[in-house]
Amino acid sequence: MGSPPPFLNKLFALVNDSYWNELIRWENNGQTFIIIDPIEFSKKILPAYFKHKNFSSFLRQLNKYGFSKLSPDEWIFGHKEFKYGKQEQLSGIIRKKKFKTNHLNFPDENIEHLNKKIEADIEFLKRSRQSFSKNFIDIYSRQEQFLIQQQNIELNQKKLESEVKILENEVCQLKGFIFGYLSKVIGKGDEKSKISEFPFFLPDEQRASESFSKTTEPPLDCYEKFPKEEKIVFFN
């Protein structure tokens, strides 16, 4: 076997260095190692040993060489060839091979089909988004048109109400003019009797009074037309 990679040699020396025991040290009788404070570890150790401060990059390196995180709550790592006092075993730690695009062992034609399907789905989502945007703009435009039409209807309604009032005033003035004219033509003596024959030209109050007086007359006795003591004679 060849010599271990520089990363493994540096890591082994680092864990063995008692100077850094407050940040990294052996655990479980030298079977694993633990990183106590990842933040301080990134600030002080990574720049000195690995020329960067990226803890995530350090974790990726461990993963590439087959190290496993052994605790969900602590940064404890282990590898069957990484043991205390066993530096010669570092040569047995092999870096994982880079996965090809087809790392899931799919046939090439399936990969190509999957890529085309993904591209088609992305294109469909783009068209759907454009269609949604267009529909939203159309709905917004229609809403604005509806509000404008509603305002126009309200304005026309107010205008119509105003015109109706003006027309009512003109009708009242015309009735007054005709009433005055008829009064002069008919004469003062029998003015009321003559004008009463044209109730349409009477003022509203007077027309109502005339109508009431007519309806309040006593009903006719239809039996007065016949003789009271008339006898019916039958011939034998």
CA distances from 70 to 44, 78, 102 (A): 24, 7, 29
Per-chain mean pLDDT for the chain: 78
DSSP assignment of 35-73 equals ES-HHHIIIIIHHHHTS---HHHHHHHHHHTT-EE--SS
Residues ≥6 apart with Cβ < 8 Å to 44: 23
DSSP assignment of 161-226 equals HHHHHHHHHHHHHHHHHHHHHHHHHH-STTHHHHHTT-GGGS-HHHHHHHHHHHHTSPPP-GGGGS
Cα three-residue angle 213-215-216, rounded to 5 degrees: 65
pLDDT of residue 203: 55
Find, among 194, 175, 196, the residue nearest to 185 by Cα.
Answer: 194
Among 22-31, 109-118, 126-135, 220-229, the least confident range? 220-229
Of 23-37, 96-110, 145-159, where does the model show the most confidence? 23-37
Question: Can you tell me the mean pLDDT for 31-35?
Answer: 95
pLDDT of residue 218: 52
pLDDT of residue 222: 44
pLDDT of residue 27: 93
Asked whether residue 65 carries a pLDDT value surpassing 70, the answer given is yes
